[in-house]
Amino acid sequence: MGAPAQAPLSAPQPFTERGYCPAAAVGGAEPPPFTAFQFRGRLEGPDWRRLSAVDVGRVCREGDVAALQEHLEHVTFCSAERERCPHCQAPADPLLLKLLRLAQLCTEYLLHSQEYLSAQLRGLEDALRDALAQRDRLGEEVARRVQEVKALKEECRRRKKMIGTQQMMLEARASYHQCQLCEKAFMNYSFLQSHMQRRHPEESQIEQKRKAKTDKLQDEIDKLKEQLQLTKSQLEAEQQANMVRFSKVMGTI
């Protein structure tokens, strides 16, 4: 004879005696229990008149979950321990009472599990909404900065064209180079440039400031794009992790 078959290891239960402990938290930082859980007492007897009006066959055939929902609370939390046969007054069969009791406890367990999972889902949905709102805000900021850079580049192109035209006009004059902001003229272009920097520094500095501002805005846009991509990657990773954790929780029920 071969070695006796070993009994299968029991799967870890998601509920402790007092609270809900997701299986995904095993080995890591265990989150606090959802609620203190313990089975409710059952004192009220069954409402036989109400139960006798239920056509169980029809409910099964038609999948009438509304009828089940109507009687869920009463059936789950009623007590049949003191019920007796109306004809012989004999107590109910203990095995049938045990079967009913186990079914009630299982239903109560599932109701508590459903409430916990619904709360978890609401929390994940709130986190997802916050992440999406942050992504949208970053996208709007990037779009605004892009428009600013586009406007500055257009202004730079216009001024470069104007400066190029002025340079061509100055170069066309073989005898002298005249300042466009005053009446002074110079023998060569280098003297004119020195004059512009010395007598008209504002005009020459405007172009330098615009270029510096454009470069700064471009750097900010690049940083915002990197932050947006990082947020998107973190969001996708978090969604994947939440789906895996949710699947594990569902698998323990």
For the stretch 2-19, pLDDT in tens is 444 444 444 444 444 444
**56 within a domain of the structure (yes/no):** yes
The whole domain housing 163 covers 135-175+205-252
Res 131: pLDDT: 93
Evaluate whether 67 touches 39 at the Cβ level (below 8 Å).
no
Specify if 240 maps to a domain. Answer: yes
**CB 100 within 8 Å of CB 80:** yes
How far the first Cα of the chain sits from its last, in Å, is 37
pTM above 0.85, yes or no: no
Q: What is residue 207's predicted lDDT score, i.e. its pLDDT? A: 61
- Classify residue 184: in a domain, yes or no: no
| Dihedral sign (CA 72, 76, 77, 80) | positive
Helix axes 201-252, 94-172, angle to 10 degrees: 160
- Partnered with residue 186 across adjacent β-strands are 177
Looking at the structure, tell me whether residues 142 and 210 fall in a common domain: yes
Burial level of 1, CB count in 10 A (0-12/13-18/19+)?
A: exposed
- 16 part of a folded domain: no
Q: CA quadruple 141, 145, 146, 148: dihedral positive or negative?
A: positive
Q: What burial letters (b/e) apply to 13-35, b meaning 16+ CB within 10 Å?
A: ebbeeeebbbebeeeeeeeeebe
Does residue 237 fall inside a structural domain?
A: yes
pLDDT at residue 135, as a whole number? 92
Q: What is the pLDDT of residue 111?
A: 87
Question: Does residue 9 belong to any structural domain of this protein?
Answer: no
- Which residues of the chain fall below pLDDT 70? 1-36, 84-87, 89, 169-175, 177, 204, 207-208, 253
Question: Looking at the 3D structure of the chain, how many domains does it have?
Answer: 2
- Which are the contacts of 22, defined by CB distance < 8 A and separation ≥ 6? 14, 31, 245, 248, 249, 252
High-pLDDT (> 90) share of the chain, %:
14
Domain shared by 143 and 248, yes or no: yes
pLDDT at 163: 86
Residue 85 lies inside a defined structural domain of this protein: yes
pLDDT score recorded for residue 170: 64
Q: Structure tokens of 118? A: 């619904």
